[in-house]
Structures are given as C-alpha cells and as structure tokens.
Structure 1
Amino acid sequence: MRTISAAEISDAVRALCIESNRILPDDMRRGLAAARKNEPWPTAAGVLDDIIENYRRAERLEMPVCQDTGMACVFVELGQEVHIDGSLEDAIQEGVRRGYLDGYLRKSVVSDPIERINTLDNTPAVITYDVVTGDRLTITVAPKGAGSENMGRLAMLKPSDGLAGVKKFVLDAVEAAGPNPCPPIVVGVGIGGNFDRVALLAKRALLRPIDRRNPNPAYAALEKELLDSINALGIGPQGFGGRTTALGVNIEVFATHIAQLPCAVNIGCHVTRHQTAVL
C-alpha cells in the first residue's frame, strides 16, 4: 500500500492546470502542421499559420493558448493499493484553485447556473473517478472552454437507426456547429452505454491522441470515414473554408441496452489540450 499526501496531489493538479493551458499536446501540433502543409486555400492557410504562431508564442511567453482557459475537467485513475493521506476531492479542488490563481488564468466558473455568480477561482472542477488496479494515482486535467463545449450533442437513437443513424447524427452536429467551436476541431464520439455514460465516452475520446486509432478495426475505419466526411463539409479553419474542418475523430464505445442506441458528440477546438501526472 502506497500513501500519497493531499499536499502532493494539490501541487500536481496546480501544475497541470497551468501547463495544460499553456502547452499544446504534440499530437495537436503534428495535426496542425499536416493541415497547413495540405491546405491550398490561401485564407485557410493564413489562419492555420496564425494558430501555429499562437501556440508557439503561448509556450515561449508562458501565456494561455486561448483566452478561454475553460472549466477544469479532471480525470482520476485511483489505484486500489493507494492510500490518500487527506481528502482526495479537497486536494484536487485546492490544486485547481491555486493553479488558476497562480497561473493568472481566466476564472470562468459560476457557483449557480441561474444566479451566475463567479466563484473567482475556477472551482469547483468537474471530477471523474475510476478505481483501477495497482499502486499509482493518475490525474489528467483537461480545461474545456464553452465555445466548443456548447456545441456538444447527445441523442438516444433507436437501434433501427443503426450505423447510418450514428453517421448522420455526428455529421449533423458538426455542420450545425459550423465556425462556432473555432475549427479546426477534434470530434469525440461516444456510442453505447446509457444517457450519462455516452456523454462521458465522448468527452474521454478527446483525451486520446488524434493520431492513435480505436483498437477495433471497424471503429478505426469509421473514425477515418467520419473525418473525411466532416472535412468534405468545407467549413475550414475558423469557418473561412478549406480542407481542414477537423484534425481528428476519436470514437469510444460501451455495451448498451437492446432497445437503445445512445450517441454523443463532444467537440474540442484547435487548442484541445490536457496534461497528465502519475503519482
């Protein structure tokens, strides 16, 4: 049994909040570079140049890659052989509070969805827990801005809608989003589970690198097909047209009931970002 202190967790989460808002993951950088290389439309190419220059400056100047530093989505994998000395929940929230204050990151969380009073430290974070085997604690912080999050969609399709219904739902969601989520985007797709699980599947899909395909060949092929179909829409970078509306499509699936076909789309913008620490 390993013991990890609450203070160590808070320190790690603080650092993750700052780093995830300043540093774009390598897979996103590669995706943007490839999109720029393959973009013949001058306006779209210029937008991609600006996006690339933006993330380079953000890292060099230690500033956020986007003015919307998001609501902190925290994914926790807690090993069964780990003992937390203190409150895990409190430690994570304290780390988020310190990260957003110390990193001078925009505080965008309101304490009540109707009263809309800002909490002034970007807490509470949205935390998802999973208990796994082993003696490690893995924490991933994924700041999610509202511009892309607001474009998410969930549908309880009928089994008879089948694969064609899933494809239509995903394409309709992206087309309806248009330029609002600041394309080029990353599209997380959840299929299966139930009403609440499918939304989580779609959100988790955004954590997988865009150049790593689903291990199931059928879903890997569907990811490629959907990516090609989305890019054929012609929305393009920031909605100005061009070849690249999406940098990637990631699909996650789960078992479901015989009488339902849940499907969810969670969209990330061109600065889809997260950082992970293993304690």
Structure 2
Amino acid sequence: MIVDLNQVEEVSKELYIRALKVLPDDVKAGFDRLSRNETNDLAKNVLGTMVKNIAVAEENSNMLCQDTGIPIYNVKIGRNVEVDGYELKDALRRGCERATKEHPLRSSVVHALTRKNEHTSCGHLVPVINIDFSAEQETLEIEMIPKGSGSENNTWLKMALPAEGRNAIYEFVIDSVLAAGAKTCPPTIVGVGIGGTGDLCVHLAKKAATRPLGSRCEDPEGAELEEKMSEAVNKLGIGPQGLGGNATAFAVHVELAATHITMNPVALNMQCHSARRAKATFTPDGIEVGF
C-alpha cells in the first residue's frame, strides 16, 4: 500500500478538529459508570453538569474545552506500507497548522524561552510525533491527542530504589494524585509508567493516561495493579472538580517496560475528564475515522 501524503495532511487536520469537539464513547460510558456509583449528592450534580457541557458542545459543534493543548500524533505503520518517513512527519505538521489557521483554533504552543506564539499550534519538535510499527498488513494508523496543560502539568517521575519495591509505586501514585487535587479537572485517567529508563518511564505514563477506558495492561501483574490502584484512588475523596466524592478517576492505567537491576523508576501522567482523542486508519479499502 502506497500512502497518499495529501490524504495524511487532510486527515491530520480533521483529526485535530474532531478530537477537540467529539468525546470518545468510552469516556462518555465512563461518566455513566461513575454517576451510577457516586454516593455524594454534590458530586452527582457536578458530574451531571459535566455531561451536559459535553452534550451542548457536541450539539453546537463547539470545542469541549478552550485548551487546544499540545498536539500529539501517534503513528503506527503496518507491514507492506510504503511511505517516506520524513514527508509523513511534514504532512502531519502541515495538517496541524491548517487546523489551527483554517478552523480557526486558539494556538496554545509558544517558544519555551521567549514565549512567542506563532499561532500555528506548532513549534520546535511540536506537534509531538511518535512513530511505531505494527504487524497489521497494509495499515497505517494515525491517532491524534490534544494534551491540555491542566493535565500535563501534573506529571511526575521518581527513580525509586529497587529495595522499596511495589510500596514505592503505591505511595508515589497516591501522593501524586493528592498533590494534583482539583488541578487536573477530575475525574481523571491516571497513567502510571513503571520500568525502563527515566525518559521511557514518563513516555509509558503518557501512553497509559491516553489509553481508551476499558483497556487493560497487557502484563498480568500490571493489570492487577491497575485494579488495586483504581480502587485506592477513588477512596481519596477528591471527587469531580475536587469538590468531594468517589469519582476522582475513571481508572488508573499502567504500562510496563523492563528495567535495570539497580533501578525502580515510576512515573505518573494524568488525563483530565475531557479525555480527547481521534483516530484514522488507512487501508487499501479507504480511510476509517473513529476513536
């Protein structure tokens, strides 16, 4: 399959707009689940207001949140796919710029030191583009995630000692969620990365935070940890928007990597209740858009 880069540019533009305006079905189902299990009346009302805000935004084709975030594109290239990698990244960037200029969207991206805003949602190494490969035949998958600052500012890394074991992970996650409090606009998705190097560990936490609700860690030990930590986090009493209640998080997600014998890295990255993402899959039969 030969990838049409003009289509990639157009799709990357449309995915950015779609992600900002349409909340994935799994997140909406997550709101329903939290509302059913919530025992605090104020929290129930807050969750209801959030759900109404989402519905009004979608009905009027407005953005779910004013923060257009840091644009992230996750690309998976399948087998027997022919594409120029450099041109692919350039097409994604052009589409991101067009989404901002043509829609128009508020650009949230600035130079790290001068704080100058080019009003393109782009800059040095932004959009963030992660490229991986899959075993799928003749398939190119592009996922777009606009990661807002409210959630991204609550990112932590701890290089724990191996002797501290799992207790260091439990304490780190609980302490981090408590430190975030209402700043991540809960209910959240708490992403936990464990293992690897420091930079890989943080990347795994981001991957975990932006996974669809209902998905599980592929490692059975990680999946067990997800269940325990999800239950523990929702006993903290932070609740939706930090106003109290059981609905602090939709879930805790975990991603693992092997690590060094003398290391025990753990990282945390959070996603807010507007857990936005959109995805397009290219095949010889056409392009399918979804979440």
Q: TM-score range by the shorter chain?
A: over 0.9
What residue is the counterpart of 1:232 in the other structure? 235
Give the superposition deviation at 1:84: 2.3
What residue is the counterpart of 1:88 in the other structure? 88
Render the CA deviation track for 1:177-212: whole Å, top value 9, x for unaligned.
011010111001110111111111111112322222
What residue is the counterpart of 1:44 in the other structure? 43
Please, which moves more after superposition, 83-92 or 49-58?
A: 83-92
In 2, Cα distance between the equivalents of 1:80 and 1:184? 38
Render the CA deviation track for 1:32-73: whole Å, top value 9, x for unaligned.
111112223222111101110111111111111111111111
**Is contact 1:64–1:105 with CA below 8 Å preserved after alignment?**
no
- Please give the residue correspondences for 1:164-203 in structure 2 after superposition, counting only pairs within 5 Å: 164-203=167-206
Query: 1:131 pairs with 130, 133, 153, which one?
Result: 133
One-letter amino acid of the structure 2 residue matched with residue 92 of structure 1: L
In 1, Cα distance between the equivalents of 2:181 and 2:73? 28
Please, which moves more after superposition, 37-46 or 50-59?
A: 37-46
SS at match of 1:200: helix
The Cα RMSD (Å) is: 1.4
What residue is the counterpart of 2:163 in the other structure? 160
In 2, Cα distance between the equivalents of 1:119 and 1:195? 31
Q: 4+ residue runs of structure 1 moved beyond 4 angstroms? A: none
What residue is the counterpart of 1:119 in the other structure? 118
Give the superposition deviation at 1:101: 2.5
TM-score, normalising length: structure 1: 0.95
In 2, Cα distance between the equivalents of 1:58 and 1:102? 20
TM-score, normalising length: structure 2: 0.92
Render the CA deviation track for 1:15-40: whole Å, top value 9, x for unaligned.
11011111111111111111112223
Q: Unpaired segments of 5 or more residues in structure 1?
A: none
Give the superposition deviation at 1:121: 1.2
What residue is the counterpart of 1:22 in the other structure? 21
Give the superposition deviation at 1:172: 0.7
Give the superposition deviation at 1:80: 4.5
What residue is the counterpart of 1:63 in the other structure? 62
Render the CA deviation track for 1:149-171: whole Å, top value 9, x for unaligned.
00011111111111111111111
In 2, Cα distance between the equivalents of 1:261 and 1:56? 43
Q: Kindly, what percent of the aligned residue pairs are identical?
A: 38
Q: How many residues align?
A: 277
What residue is the counterpart of 1:218 in the other structure? 221
